[in-house]
Amino acid sequence: MTPEQIKLVQESLSKVAPISDEAAMLFYDRLFEIAPQLKALFPADMTEQRRKLMSTLVIVVSGLSDLPSILPAASALATRHVAYGAKAEHYPVVGQALLWTLEKGLGKDWTADVAAAWLAAYTTLSSFMINQAYGRPQAAE
Ligand code: HEM
- Check pocket membership of 126 for ligand 1, CB cut-off 6 A: yes
- Check pocket membership of 41 for ligand 1, CB cut-off 6 A: yes
CB 118 within 8 Å of CB 10: no
Q: Which residues contact 123 (CB under 8 A, 6 or more apart)?
A: 95
- Where the chain has pLDDT below 50, the residues are 138-141
What does pTM read for this prediction? Answer: 0.93
State in Å: Cα 87 to ligand 1 middle.
11
State in Å: Cα 37 to ligand 1 middle.
15
| Per-residue pLDDT tens over the stretch 96-132 | 999 999 999 999 999 999 999 999 999 999 999 999 9
pLDDT for 137 equals: 53
- Check pocket membership of 90 for ligand 1, CB cut-off 6 A: yes
